[in-house]
Structure formats: structure tokens, C-alpha cells
Chain A
Amino acid sequence: MKIKYNGEIVIGALFTIASGVLLARIPIEIKTLETTAVNAQTVPRIALGGLCLFSFILFLQGVFLIPKKVLVFDQALKESREFKDSIRSLIYIAILILYTVIFRFLGYIISSIYLIFAILIYYGARKKSYYAIALTVSAVVYLVFSLVLNIALP
């Protein structure tokens, strides 16, 4: 299977749809009692309307004016550098999402230990000094926030 696409088509379409949905939701999400023509709904309408319009124009530019890339779904795609880089990015994002969950439930210190190990392993770091330095700096950050700034991290 082949797909012809470019970034402008993808982003243009996504934002056109998203802004259209949000525009439709304005009466539900912004329940104002104001009776004037210009009220709490006005600027969100302008912003989302503008987003919809400009995204659609971008989409049209992508379709008619900008060269498209061809994406072929076959075995070669899975072995390509781009595909592997995309998977790496998704793994990186997954590490960060898990970090936020651990941050909430287990606190700053444990989540920082997890993050440091995860990131350094992700980059293939083997030197123990890197782990030691990162953990030490993280501890210093905790102490600075707790003792100097009087902000209790979780």
C-alpha cells in the first residue's frame, strides 16, 4: 500500500478537524449568561475560527503546492532509519509519560531515579560517573527546592 503525504496535509487536516470540533463544543464548554454580542465565547470563536481557516489553507497548500513524500507499507519501511527513529521517539515519550505517573504516586526522588536510569540506558550510557553525577544533581535540586526555596516536592 502506498500513501502520498506531506507534513502540511497531515497537520492541516488534523488542526482543521480539531478546531471544527472545538468550535462546535463552544456552546457546551462556555455557558455564559452575558447577553451582549461580544462575550466570553467571542475570542475563543475567533481563535478557533482562525485556526480552522489557516489550517485548511495549509492543508490546501500541502495538497496542491508542496511536493509529497511517498510512504510504502512494506518490509523495507520497517527496516528503514526513519521508522526506527520514530519508534525511538515513541519510546522516549513513553519514558516521560511513565515518569509523570511515578512522580505523582511515588514522589520526586523515586521518579528522578527512574528517569535518570531510563534516559541514560536509552542513550546507551555505561559510565557509572554519569549515573552518579545525574543522581547527585537531582538530589541537589531537591535540597535547593526544599531547604532554600521552601517548596515541598512530592
Chain B
Amino acid sequence: MDLVLSGLGILYNWQLLLAIPIGMILGIIVGAIPGLTSDLGIILMIPLTYTLEPTVAILALVSIYVGGTYGGSITAILINTPGTSANAASLFDGYPMAQKGEAYKALSMALYASTIGGLIGAFVLLFLAPPIAKVTLKFGPAEYLALAVFGLSVIAGVSNENIFKGLIGACIGIFVSTIGLDVISGTVRFTFGNIQLRRGIDLIIALIGLFAISEILMKAKYNPKTDRTVVDASSITKMKITKEEYKRCRKPITIGTIIGVIIGATPGTGGGLAAFIAYNQVKQTSSHPETFGKGEIEGVAASESANNAACGGTMIPMLTLGVPGDGATAILMGAFMVHGLVPGPMLFKEQGSILYAIMIGSIIVNICLWVFGKFFTRFYAHITRIPFELLACIVLTFCAAGAFSTNNNIYDVYYIFIFGILAYYLRLMNFQMVPILLGIVLGPLAEMNFRRALILSDGSYMIFIKRPISLAFLLIAFGSVVTFTIKDFRHKRREAAKSA
């Protein structure tokens, strides 16, 4: 209770009155523009938060995350293009509703469902995270290593069509994290004689390159004359949601929220998967499944409540175990570290009041989503009019300034483009960036705990097997790699047989 009160005390800060609304508006805008995602918005904002207090900085970034997850529904509904992957399921019924002249209704339900789902997700985070953190306080170095291996293997399998691509990504990330000075022995590693590499590759630099620069490069083939889609602002006519529709949507929102929290709390999943599963579940249990896909408001309610509920869910493993639930929380985890907070159970012990401030603040963020979403609904069509070529210039100059500001070093600007070009070619080959990012984030944690565990056990590897929690995580990791490999192999054999 003391921590809750202390957390509330930290929230009594005038800077939050600016940080949360600005983050929310930015998040909605960034989420609404196809090609920009809340991940990118968070990355771009991190350098601007260096001088802010940790709570204010994190809540500003959480606002972008929450706002972006909702914002993606705007273009999904208006122009059949999801702003973020988390909103792909909203296309199925959101766009048909817009085609029937019910765009305002669809946008309003997306906002309503997102707010409810997000609020419940934030409450679940507040009540579930502390007890989980108490259990994880019993973890030793062996458990932490096993957890890092588990997190990497699950995410490698889930985030990629081919698990080996995910594992390659994870290995690249771990290798990148070893560049520079070894913290234990002070040995210089893979600097190739370059003194600038002694301090290693900053996480933010890798983030900007892997996500922001590569995203811009992916649009190298974009042709403004043929590829641009805009919506006519006058097409949004006001048609309010009826009481009967609110009543019908109670069940889809409930199902979506529960699925969103559970899926979100599972590492490597995220809002996109939660939204699809929730949509599918609501459709299957509906008394009128034939209306789904043709402009059924319940479809929008289910997917939007799930993806925003997942926002709270994904933060549970990130805060309690130090294993992010999805890409955006992996980036948020980087932001935590930049501000001197290392996510994990020790954070609850050492900085409990800040953590409670963040968790309670997440509830406030979701309330703000309702306020700002409601106010800005009529302006949303204009967001889609921003030409990508203009955005590309702005994002690139912002990235360079942000990268330089990290360490006041020009080499960081080089690194973001090196990472960006590498990530671009990997993405062309259908590699996902999240395993690489996780390798960079979890690599140092894994190495430190690996070496500590072996010091404790006098060099015996049996420590990882003798301790039951460590063994459990390693077995799950091994099991998931085997399962995904078999699934992948069978899928490829079927594809090969079809093409033959």
C-alpha cells in the first residue's frame, strides 16, 4: 500500500499533464499513418525524453504505444490499410462499415472498445505484476539465463515464418551485444581496432537503425502517383452508435479483452495475434457469424478491445521477468534501461514506487485515450493525406539528430544507417527484427547470468539442470524450438509437394 501511495505521489507532477497528452496525440497520428508504427514513434521519441524524469518519460512513451495501437484502426477503417499490424483484424469489418457510410460509427466503436480493453489491461497489469514479481525474486543467475534463452527461442519461433530465421536474428543480436568492452573482464571484443566501438553499440542506435531506417528504406519502391491512397474527409458522416449496438458489443469486448490480456502476457505474441484470435473467437461464438466481414460492428469491437488490452498484457512479462511481450515492449524495455531502470523483479524491490507510478499512470493513459480520441475523431481523415515522401524526409532527419544526441558522436549516425541497410535486406528476405532486438537486449543479461551461474557452481553446467525453474524454462525453450522446426519442416514439405 505504501508503494501505491508513493507511486501516486510521483504522479503528482505537472510535466505529466503535457507528456501524456502529447504522447497520446503523437501515438494516434503515428499509428494512423501506414508505414509509421507506434514502435517507430516510441523510438523517435526516446532521445527527446533523455532530460525528463523516468516516470514522465516512460508514461509519454506508453502513451505513444497505447495511442498508436488505437490509431492504426483509423486507416484500417477509412482506407482498408491498417496503420499497425495490431489493427489488421479491424479491416475485416471496419472498412465495410465505412463503405456503408458508417465510418464514424466504426471509429467510435474502435475508440470505445480500445479504451475498455486498454483500461482492463492496465488494471490487470497493476494487480498481477507485483505478485508475479515476488515469485521471480527467487530467481538466481541460472533461472535468469534460462529465462533469456526461453524468451529468445519463443520469440524467434513466433515472430518468423521460419524459426531458423528467428534464431539467426537472435544470434545476430547477441553477437552485436558482445561488441565493445566485456563488463566482467574488461576485454575488448570485436572492435576491429576502432576505438569508437569500445563502448559497444547503443541499444537506441540499433533500434533506430533496425526499425526506423529500414522502414523508410522499405518504401524505396513507393510511387506517389500510383501507390498513394487518401480518404475524402466528407466521407465521415456522423452516425452514432445505438444503445442496442453498445449492448451487442458487450460480449465481444469482454472476449477480446480477456484474450488480449492473456495473449499479450505471453512473450513473442502481441496485439496483432490477440486481435485475430479474438475476432475469430467472437465470430465463431456469434449467433450471426454470416454478418462478420460485411460491416459487423461486433467485429471491430472484438479486435480493437483485444489489441489494446494486449498493451497492458505485454508489459506484465516485461516488468516482472525482463522478457518483453512484443516488439513495442522490447523497445519500451530499452527506454527503461536508458533511464536507469532495469526491468525485472529487482525493479519492484529497488524502484517499486516508480513502477507503481508507471502502472497507475497506464490507467490514466487509457482514460486520456478516450478523451483525445473522442475530440480528434473528425480530424482523422486528414492524417491519411500526409504524403509519405514528406514523412520520409522528416523521419530521416529526426533519426539522425536523435542518433547523434545519444552520445554526441557522429559514429552513431553511421551505425543507424549501417543497421538500417542490413535490416532492409534482411526484411526483404522475410526476417523479422524483433529477435535481433531481443538478442541485443537480452544478450548482456544472458551472458552476465551465465558466467555468474558458472562461478557459483565452480564451472559445473549441471546448475542449469539441477535447479527446477531453470530446467523448466530450458525444456520449454527446447520444446518450442523442436515444435516450430517440425511445423516449419512439414509446411515446407507440403509447399514443395504442391509446387511439384
Contact = CB atoms under 8 A, between A and B. Distances in A.
Interface string B376-403: 0000000000011110111011101100
A100 B413 contact: yes
A85 B221 contact: yes
Interface in A42-78: 42-44, 46-48, 50-51, 54-55, 57-58, 61, 65-67
A43 B401 contact: no
A60 to B, nearest CB: 10
B140 interface: no
A88 interface: yes
B487 interface: no
Given A100-B400, A103-B400, 16 more contacts: A29-B189, A30-B187, A34-B187, A38-B454, A38-B459, A40-B185, A44-B190, A47-B171, A66-B492, A88-B220, A96-B420, A103-B413, A116-B397, A124-B225, A125-B389, A149-B48
A103 B410 contact: yes
15 contacts: A29-B192, A31-B187, A40-B187, A47-B171, A50-B171, A50-B174, A65-B492, A66-B495, A96-B217, A104-B410, A108-B401, A115-B393, A115-B396, A123-B389, A150-B51
Contacts of B170: 50
Interface SS of chain A: helix, strand, loop or mixed? helix
A67 B171 contact: no
Contacts of B195: none
Contacts of B394: 134, 137-138, 141
B285 to A, nearest CB: 38
A58 B165 contact: yes
A123 B392 CA distance: 10
Given A38-B450, A96-B417, A88 B221 contact: yes
Contacts of B175: 22, 44, 47-48, 51
Contacts of A145: 401, 405
Contacts of A33: 185, 187
Interface of A: 7-8, 10-11, 15, 19, 22, 29-34, 36-40, 42-44, 46-48, 50-51, 54-55, 57-58, 61, 65-67, 85, 88-89, 92-93, 96-97, 99-100, 103-104, 108, 111-112, 115-116, 119-120, 122-125, 130, 133-134, 137-138, 141-142, 144-145, 149-154
Interface of B: 48, 50-51, 162, 164-165, 167-168, 170-172, 174-175, 178, 182, 184-185, 187-192, 213, 217, 220-222, 224-225, 387-390, 392-394, 396-398, 400-401, 404-405, 408, 410, 413-414, 417, 420-421, 424, 426, 428-431, 439, 443, 446-447, 450-451, 454, 459, 489, 492-493, 495-496, 499
A89 B493 contact: no
Given A54-B171, A92-B217, A99-B400, A149 B410 contact: no
Contact of A116 (B188, B217, B222, B393): B393
A124 B393 contact: no
Contacts of B429: 7-8, 10-11
A93 B421 contact: yes
A100 B191 CA distance: 21
A120 B389 contact: yes
A10 B421 CA distance: 16
The 10 lowest CB-CB distance pairs between A and B, nearest first, are A123-B389, A40-B187, A51-B171, A7-B429, A47-B174, A40-B182, A65-B492, A92-B220, A134-B393, A47-B175
